[in-house]
Amino acid sequence: METSLKGKDYISTQDWSDEQIDLALETASDLKAKFKNDIPHRYLADKTIFLFFFDKSTRTRNSFEAGITQLGGHAHFIEASTSQAAHGESPKDMGIILSSYGHAIAIRHDLVPGEGNAYMREVAKWADKPVINMQCDVDHPCQTLADLMTIREKFGNDLRGKKIAVSWAYAPSYAKPMSVPQGLIMLMTRFGMDVSLAHPPEYALMDEPLRIAKENAAKAGTKFEIVDSMDAAFENADIVYPKSWGIESLFHKPEEALEISKKYKDWICDERLMDLTRKDSLYMHCLPADRGYEVTDSVIDGSHSVVHQEAENRLHTAKALMALTM
């Protein structure tokens, strides 16, 4: 196993070079092939990763737990409310102590803008083992890495000129984190894709991810635009990624944010919108999707959808990140 990334934190895709992201994807593809062919790959025998969750999870928790088991190691699941973090234990103490007990710390802390990413970086400052971001307020780098892997599996590694539409969509369930769309605009602009971001006026993304996306696009020679309708974003798109997210200033008032969202119930991904895209376009979503609100059943279960392949790749990219950094 390649060791050049051993000990390196993975808190944002922006922290890794293009070459390091490519290495992670190559490793994920190799691990996927080994998994499919029942070839043992116990690269992390007897190693321990601590999975520290401030929020709920299905794909992230299980991709890391199953992944470390397949790599020969073991995961400790920690719900923050059952730990001393709930009583105010500092990220410094947690980072020092847990890193002395094992070989990596992974954290999900995504529901409060201004907190999660800063918390992870403070843990990483004091830990002497790698810290992996399982989703924060700013980025979801495990999800977007799997998204890029899926897009490459469908279209090849040269994505120059491909258009991805990252759009807000209506959902009544809860005020969802902003990290997935922010992670997408930061990463996809680096790897050849033209990014069209669509949202109602209240749902602007954070300033820093927007700045990074613009800089990445300029450096890579790609396009980054912000439009005010799903139609404009979906027009001739090769990939569409419509999902809900909350209002940055109202995460402490979720009921108020959900009330505002009701004005935009027509922001739903349906067959009419998919007809605006290219013939071989992909429908993507990090899941769980609010069926009947964010997307119709006919789209998420239809021929454009790659959501299950995308979710499966969460396992292989999680394994790659652990194998490379631990």
Whether 325 has a pLDDT exceeding 90, the answer reads: yes
Whether residue 113 is found in the same domain as residue 258? no
- 5 in a domain, yes or no? no
Neighbours of 303 (CB within 10 A): 11
50 and 124 together in one domain: yes
Would 192 be classed as within a structural domain?
Answer: yes
Query: Is the predicted pLDDT of residue 20 greater than 80, yes or no?
Result: yes
Alpha-carbon gap, residue 214 to 79, rounded angstroms: 36
Give the tokens for residue 291.
Answer: 């069926």
Tell me whether residue 226 is in a domain: yes
What is the Cα–Cα distance from 259 to 107, expressed in whole angstroms?
A: 30
Same domain, 305 and 195: yes
Residue 250 is assigned to a structural domain of this protein: yes
Whole-number Å distance between alpha carbons of 122 and 145: 23
Q: Is 206 a member of any domain?
A: yes
Q: What is the pLDDT of residues 188-215, one digit of tens each?
A: 999 999 999 999 999 999 999 999 999 9
Task: Indicate whether 8 belongs to any domain.
Answer: no
Q: pLDDT-based confidence at 306, cuts 50/70/90?
A: very high
34 and 132 assigned to the same domain:
yes
| Residue 238, domain CATH | 3.40.50.1370
Q: Cis peptide leading into 288, omega within 30 of 0? A: yes
Query: Is residue 4 in some structural domain?
Result: no
Same-domain pairing of 135 and 146: no
Q: Are residues 130 and 149 in the same domain?
A: no
> Both 116 and 246 in a single domain?
no
Do 64 and 114 fall within a single domain?
yes
Residue span of the structural domain in which 278 resides: 141-310
- How far apart are alpha carbons 269 and 12 in whole angstroms? 28
Give tens-digit pLDDT for 130-171.
999 999 999 999 999 999 999 999 999 999 999 999 999 999
Integer Cα distance of 55 and 67 in angstroms: 20
Mean pLDDT score across all residues of the chain? 97
Q: Do residues 152 and 30 both lie within one domain?
A: no
**Do 147 and 132 fall within a single domain?**
no
pLDDT reported for residue 2: 87
Asked if residue 233 has pLDDT above 90, the reply is yes
* Same domain assignment for residues 278 and 188: yes
Residue 264 lies in a domain: yes
Q: Which residues pair with 210 in a beta bridge?
A: none
Number of domains in the chain: 2
Same domain, 246 and 306: yes
Give yes or no for a contact between 246 and 169, defined as CB atoms under 8 angstroms apart: no
